[in-house]
Amino acid sequence: MPPETGRVLLVGAGPGAADLMTVRALRAVEAAEALLYDALVADEVLALAPAACLRIQTGKRAGKTSMKQDTINRLMLRLARRGLNVVRLKGGDPSVFGRSGEERAFLEAHGVAVDIVPGVTAASAAAAQFAFPLTHRGEARRVAFATARVQDGEVVEAGWTALADPQTTVVLYMARDAARAAADRLLAEGRSAQTPALAVENAGRRDARAIATTLGRLADTVAAQAFDGPVALIIGEATALARGVEVAVPEPARRSA
């Protein structure tokens, strides 16, 4: 089989703002002939593509209708076989819950060259924007990125015991609708209900919000906010250092009869 003439770049657009893109990501978008982009990619980033660039929105936002992964894979392949410089543009970093491994394996199996361009992930953007560290001497020795898949009201992935370590900063992606199940699981594994926590909406964007709460009240805090944008839940002692955040209003104490 002869080598394909096109190539595909899996590019991280970062958390939203164009000035948080890497120089390599910027150059990739500016040189794109076909751009397949996720729903969370900001308009100011899309505007960097050439006027003649073919733009295709693939969706890929939790809870919303989106193009199936198999369709995306075959579309990238078809465009690359036409000899186009294809950019698959993803919010955040393509290697952090971005299915870069699946897409790369599919394309390379069909003879298409693939390069990956990293991007700023939501956890890093939130930490920078709200002035708290993800690791902190004496309080947070490690960071764990996770998602929370829920079935019958409970998270179903293994590995939650390790997340209960009080020196681990836990970042839960795509967990807005799984906040209660995730918090309950961490509490059941032994994480303290008083552990500081943040619910960060639209991390890295100009309209970002961070709500400070505790693990024990995290689910109620998320439910009370009615978030519309992407939400990252960040749990750990280091989040107590965050600045410019809103503080969840505690429930009024119940009076004894």
Q: For the segment 161-208, what is each residue's pLDDT rounded down to a tens digit? A: 999 999 999 999 988 888 999 999 999 999 999 999 999 999 999 999
Q: How far apart are CA 115 and CA 151, in angstroms?
A: 35
Strands 154-155 and 150-151: antiparallel
- Per-residue pLDDT, 171: 97
- Per-residue pLDDT, 124: 97
Top pLDDT among 255 and 158 is at: 158
DSSP letter, residue 192: -
**Average model confidence (pLDDT) for the chain?**
90
- Per-residue pLDDT, 1: 44
The pLDDT of residue 216 is above 60? yes
Task: Give 257's pLDDT tier (boundaries 50, 70, 90).
Answer: very low
Q: Is CATH 3.30.420.40 the right assignment for the domain spanning 122-247?
A: no
Tokens of 241: 């250092």
CATH superfamily name and code, 7-117: Tetrapyrrole methylase, N-terminal domain (3.40.1010.10)
Sequence spans of domains, the chain: 7-117, 122-247
Task: Give 61's pLDDT tier (boundaries 50, 70, 90).
Answer: low
DSSP letter, residue 92: B
- Known catalytic residues are 38, 60
Q: 């193009």: which residue's tokens?
A: 67
The pLDDT of residue 128 is above 90? yes
Please name the amino acid found at residue 156: V
Task: Give 158's pLDDT tier (boundaries 50, 70, 90).
Answer: confident
Q: How far apart are CA 41 and CA 18, in angstroms?
A: 10
Tokens of 123: 């956890």
- Per-residue pLDDT, 85: 96
- Per-residue pLDDT, 5: 61
Task: Give 157's pLDDT tier (boundaries 50, 70, 90).
Answer: confident
Q: Are 86 and 58 in contact (CB under 8 A)?
A: no
